[in-house]
Homo-oligomer: A and B are copies of this chain.
Amino acid sequence: MHELWISSVGAFLTTAAFLPQAVLTIRTRDTSGISLVTYLMLVIGVSFWLVYGLMIMAWPIIIANAVTLVTGGTILTLKILGMRKGDAHSPPGE
């Protein structure tokens, strides 16, 4: 009986979670402590989930992963731009 709202809250939080990070990174451009590999894996991972959602036409999966693709993609882009300017901690391979 409670499964629906518990999974909906989980889905909302894990989807919306990256919005504050995207806003903070846009505002501060402080990317030295952000892991390039994490956001590469996240963006590729949600892309697979998005393809999966489209294959089975599951709108909750499509919407959740499209949102995370945008926010995660924004953070990844700012991280790569930051590395080009030589941010402190992440050597290109990190």
A6 to B65 alpha-carbon distance, docked (Å): 14
Q: Give how many copies assemble into the complex.
A: 2
Is A42 at the interface (CB under 8 A from chain B)? yes
- Count contacts on A: residues with CB < 8 A to the other chain: 45
Task: Determine whether the beta carbon of A20 is less than 8 Å from that of B33.
Answer: no
Q: Which of A9, A17, A51 has the most CB of B within 10 A?
A: A17
Task: Determine whether the beta carbon of A24 is less than 8 Å from that of B90.
Answer: yes
Task: Determine whether the beta carbon of A45 is less than 8 Å from that of B10.
Answer: yes
Task: Determine whether the beta carbon of A13 is less than 8 Å from that of B88.
Answer: no
Partner of A33, one of B3, B33, B56: B33
Partner of A6, one of B3, B21, B33, B52: B52
